[in-house]
Structure 1
Amino acid sequence: MEKEKRKGKIGIPDAYVILFIILALMAVLTYIIPAGEFQREEVDGVTVVVPDGYEQIANTPASVIDVFLAIQEGMISSAPLIFLVLIIGGSFAVIESTGAIDAMILKTIEKTKNKEILLISIVMILFSIFGTLGIIVNAVIAFIPIGIILARSMKLDAVVGVSIIYLGAYAGFNTAFLDPLTTGTAQTIAQLPLFSGIGYRVIIYIVVLVTTILYVAWYVKKLKKDPMKGVLGATPFPKIEERDELNQEVKVTGTHKLVLAWLVLGIATYVFGVFKFEWSLNEMAAIFLIIAVGTAIIAKLTPNRLVLEFFEGAKGLIYGAMIIGMARSIVVVLEKGNILDTIVHGMASVMEPFTSVSGAIVMFIANLLFNVLVSSGSGQAVIVMPIMTPLADLMEIPRQVAVQAYKMGDGFTNVITPTSGILMANLAIAGISWTKWVRFVFPLLIIWTILGIIFLVIGVLMNWGPM
């Protein structure tokens, strides 16, 4: 009888099931929404849309075979990110095998004993700094296991483990005042000096970060009072693996210090490369391969042991890495159905009658919603900024405000959108269902949105210029 009951119970849909349902719905929309496209031109090496160049074209609705082809094409187009995730996972497994990660975390916990909030704040601040530079948002998935280890050591839950890494990084990425791919691209299209307006953006970053830390701290205190009040209830860590257990016997050795120094040097080299040589995902993957090989040399691991540890780490992230391609398939259907530009054109038509303050708010909300369809920051910039820039001029909204409306719209809803491969991969690794995560994070999203509106209104009123 019990077996029969279990069989009849559907349960919470898997992340892949949720994404496939969205994919199917988007395919249906290609039959409903008229196809159209903007003319495009290349400006300073960036292909952007011509604001007044929209025209309707013949409908190209998605067939059943197109839906399944989109999955394959999504995987192919996301290959650099998918393999980056696998390489980072493998590299971290090599580092973990030396005991350096365990030693660092145990030492940190020892130094911050009974000061969980302080430890959480330090980690979130660190990842938020990476987020402002735009160097960690795609690779954040590799650090989730560390967050889970930290959360377990503090007897909290997997939601906290994901939050201190993921929300920390995105608290910085929401403004990303030094990110060349999102803020830099948007400002280039808006014809603003690169990284101008940084003073006000730093203020926005600090307020958003402090608010996020306070929100996570509130949740931690609630868990401490009653673990059953957490969104995961009686199963605080749905995916428990042996490798997630801290080795309490590990002490910090000279080898551990060298391994951690090598990791920091590798990441610092990548940051330098981003700004000096415009490095991207492929270079990041190469750096992490170098980190893995260097770690093996420092820790005197045999070549066979290096390969074994690397592939064990990569294997654990296959589910999460592949989901990035699944999320991308949704955008593939929208693009092949030629309805993305129609959606953008509709957004522009809605925004045009507004002026000044109300127009800035509508711009922000439109970007929040559009980000659910296109979760790529730079991808969203090249689609919406050529439309929003002339609209901002018409509505007497400073262009810096238009850039910030795009940036916060792009950043905020990343924490709930199921089309974000990074979010879905993080949740899959932690074993948290999307519905439970949304239940936890949605109040924070509302707080962020209110803060965003306030900052945009201030930006309009003070006529926020390039600076």
Structure 2
Amino acid sequence: MQHDITADPARNAPATQRNRKTGTINPYVLLFIMLVITAAATWIVPPGEFGHVLREGVKFAVPGSLHPVARSGVGPETLFTFIAEGMVKSAPIIFLILFTGGAVNVLEQSGALSNALNAMARRKGSSDTVIILSVCAVFSVLGTTGVVINSVVAFIPLGMLLARSMNLPRIFGGGLIYLGTYAGFNDAIINPGTTGLAQRLAELPLFSGMGFRLGIYLAFAVCAIVFLTLYARRCRREGLANEDENAQQHIAANVTPFHWLILAFTALALLTFIYGAVNYGWSENEMSAMFIVVALGVGLIARLRGGSIADTFLQGCAQLIPGALIVGLARAIAPLNEMFAALGMFISAAVMHIAISSGSGESAALVPLYVPLGDALHITRQVTVETILLGEGVINSVNPTSSVMMAVLAIGRIGYGQWLRFVFPLTLMWLVIAIIAIIIGVQIQWGPF
């Protein structure tokens, strides 16, 4: 069974159309405006720079070393050159993001993932807790690895199917898929488009700090599972049933041995990369190669023709071109208590995410601004990166400018006010987890630097 990804108009509509419908600012436009303002400021603001020290090949700002320097205004001819240079310097992470989209598209075309999840939904006799635990575990892993993020919209009908089969309200079905996915995405452990991008801009080793980040991910996921389980029990106690009891249920194709082999192969490839990153310092190039191997392996196991594998891979790459090129554009932009300063970064990142609903766009915009500030305030770069990731992650569950969340609510026929009342307790729990994680990170000087 193969998915027709072109059947999802929300996913394939031009970015300008999606932004017009949701009222959000195109991240390219916002970043270009920031770039122009920054260039204009070089002619107005008195120039100065921090002194730097070089430690292990990385430049760190020296606290209290800000001093005036000769003015060097940026003109229009240089402005566009900076954009080109930013693209060149960011080439490894740009191609990593593109190859991620290609491999994921081949995996989706194989039908392995959707059929396995639909088989889980059709299974009879499973308790609420078992279903919630299973679905949240699967989707949180898909979210934290970056396999399913925006494409979570395609799985909302599965959530509706689960809600009907369990005789629980539609909002439960939407929350089960969306919140399960974003419990992982909130602190994406090996997502190249957010964590990988932010760490590279901060000159951190790719996916470093994985152990501490794994603990944060587990805390988010456990809270989501507990929240959804308690909500299901409350619905049972109060007699709240599904609104679409007579709706026809979708029957999906069966899961074949080839599908299980595809999923096992993909999981093995991801685990191999994690092992290599931890033990051998694998980085963008190795992860890009891994995604090429995944695309080829999945395509061959699914018995796709060579030309079909190539076309599907390129289609997936094309879908992520907007997010990938944001990296290059953003790279062209060039004494408080440490704990309060880090929390201030977290809060400002959360607020900024309402304006920049793209996770990769916000990471690319804020990291160059936050890193020198963090250096000057004795905040490790790992903590600085985490304040941005957690800020944009936690707000996703209530962000009114998120086209993904709004699409989820539209498909599930869920009102935004109804959704806010439903998700508020979990969002509050996630907020507390994020604050505790940042405080611990500051206290332990979470690194490597």
TM-superposed CA distance for 1:451, in Å, is 4.7
Q: Pairwise mapping of residues 265-414 of structure 1 onto structure 2 (< 5 A)?
A: 265-311=268-314, 313-314=315-316, 318-326=318-326, 329-332=329-332, 334-335=333-334, 349=335, 351=336, 354=337, 360-369=339-348, 375=363, 383-389=372-378, 406=384, 408-414=386-392
Q: Distance in 1 between matches of 2:112 and 2:178?
A: 21
Q: Which secondary structure does the structure 1 equivalent of 2:62 belong to? A: strand
TM-superposed CA distance for 1:286, in Å, is 1.1
**In terms of mean alpha carbon deviation, does 423-432 or 118-127 score higher?**
423-432
Q: Distance in 1 between matches of 2:312 and 2:320?
A: 18
Q: Distance in 2 between matches of 1:14 and 1:99?
A: 34
Q: Which secondary structure does the structure 1 equivalent of 2:63 belong to? A: strand
Name the counterpart of 2:261: 258
Q: Distance in 2 between matches of 1:304 and 1:195?
A: 39
TM-superposed CA distance for 1:274, in Å, is 0.9
Residue pair 1:168, 1:212 contacting (<8 A) in 2 also: no
**TM-score normalised to the size of structure 2?**
0.62
TM-superposed CA distance for 1:456, in Å, is 6.4
Q: Which amino acid aligns with 1:55?
A: H
Q: Which amino acid aligns with 1:362?
A: A
Q: Distance in 2 between matches of 1:61 and 1:117?
A: 61
Picking from 30, 33, 52, the partner of 1:24 is 33
Q: Which secondary structure does the structure 2 equivalent of 1:375 belong to? A: helix
Residue pair 2:198, 2:367 contacting (<8 A) in 1 also: yes
Q: Distance in 1 between matches of 2:86 and 2:403?
A: 15
Name the counterpart of 2:8: none
TM-superposed CA distance for 1:183, in Å, is 9.3
Residue pair 2:99, 2:291 contacting (<8 A) in 1 also: yes
Residue pair 1:19, 1:327 contacting (<8 A) in 2 also: no
Q: Residues 153, 78 of structure 1: CA spacing in aligned structure 2 closer, same or farther, 3 A cutoff?
A: farther
Residue pair 1:270, 1:279 contacting (<8 A) in 2 also: yes
Picking from 108, 116, 119, the partner of 1:107 is 119
TM-superposed CA distance for 1:104, in Å, is 0.9
Q: Residues 90, 408 of structure 1: CA spacing in aligned structure 2 closer, same or farther, 3 A cutoff?
A: closer
Aligned residue pairs, count: 381
**TM-score normalised to the size of structure 1?**
0.60
Residue pair 2:149, 2:185 contacting (<8 A) in 1 also: no
Residue pair 1:296, 1:306 contacting (<8 A) in 2 also: yes
Residue pair 1:124, 1:168 contacting (<8 A) in 2 also: no
Q: Residues 364, 450 of structure 1: CA spacing in aligned structure 2 closer, same or farther, 3 A cutoff?
A: same
Name the counterpart of 2:357: none
Q: Deviations over 1:240-262 (max 9, x none)?
A: xxxxxx98352122222211111
Q: Deviations over 1:53-106 (max 9, x none)?
A: 322334555555666656555554444344333323332333333332232112
Residue pair 1:262, 1:295 contacting (<8 A) in 2 also: yes
Q: Residues 30, 455 of structure 1: CA spacing in aligned structure 2 closer, same or farther, 3 A cutoff?
A: same
Q: Deviations over 1:318-337 (max 9, x none)?
A: 354313423652452x30xx
Q: Deviations over 1:343-402 (max 9, x none)?
A: xxxxxx4x1xx5xxxx5223321354368597259867853553233xx7xxxxxxxxx7
Q: Distance in 2 between matches of 1:427 and 1:285?
A: 29
Name the counterpart of 2:184: 168
Residue pair 2:189, 2:210 contacting (<8 A) in 1 also: no
Q: Which secondary structure does the structure 1 equivalent of 2:271 belong to? A: helix
Gaps of 5+ in 1: 1-9, 228-245, 336-348, 393-401
Q: Which amino acid aligns with 2:363?
A: S
Residue pair 2:159, 2:176 contacting (<8 A) in 1 also: yes
Picking from 51, 56, 66, the partner of 2:68 is 56
Q: Residues 69, 216 of structure 1: CA spacing in aligned structure 2 closer, same or farther, 3 A cutoff?
A: farther
Q: Distance in 2 between matches of 1:458 and 1:99?
A: 42
Residue pair 2:46, 2:71 contacting (<8 A) in 1 also: yes
TM-superposed CA distance for 1:273, in Å, is 1.2
Q: Which secondary structure does the structure 1 equivalent of 2:26 belong to? A: helix
Q: Distance in 2 between matches of 1:154 and 1:197?
A: 33
Q: Deviations over 1:3-25 (max 9, x none)?
A: xxxxxxx9546766354135314
TM-superposed CA distance for 1:290, in Å, is 1.0
Q: Distance in 2 between matches of 1:159 and 1:120?
A: 11
Q: Distance in 2 between matches of 1:71 and 1:158?
A: 40
TM-superposed CA distance for 1:122, in Å, is 3.9
Q: Distance in 1 between matches of 2:88 and 2:37?
A: 23
Q: Residues 427, 437 of structure 1: CA spacing in aligned structure 2 closer, same or farther, 3 A cutoff?
A: farther
Q: Which secondary structure does the structure 1 equivalent of 2:300 belong to? A: helix
TM-superposed CA distance for 1:267, in Å, is 1.1
Q: Distance in 1 between matches of 2:320 and 2:81?
A: 20
Q: Deviations over 1:201-233 (max 9, x none)?
A: 877655444445566779999998779xxxxxx
Q: Distance in 2 between matches of 1:412 and 1:453?
A: 9
Name the counterpart of 1:36: 48
Name the counterpart of 2:12: none
Residue pair 1:85, 1:142 contacting (<8 A) in 2 also: no
Q: Which amino acid aligns with 2:103?
A: S
Name the counterpart of 1:341: none
Q: Which amino acid aligns with 1:363?
A: A
Q: Distance in 1 between matches of 2:61 and 2:23?
A: 37
Task: State the Cα RMSD in Å.
Answer: 5.3
Residue pair 2:143, 2:181 contacting (<8 A) in 1 also: no
Q: Residues 304, 224 of structure 1: CA spacing in aligned structure 2 closer, same or farther, 3 A cutoff?
A: farther
Residue pair 1:128, 1:209 contacting (<8 A) in 2 also: yes
Residue pair 2:201, 2:367 contacting (<8 A) in 1 also: yes
TM-superposed CA distance for 1:169, in Å, is 2.6
Q: Distance in 1 between matches of 2:416 and 2:387?
A: 17
Name the counterpart of 2:7: none
Residue pair 2:116, 2:255 contacting (<8 A) in 1 also: yes
Q: Distance in 2 between matches of 1:167 and 1:143?
A: 15
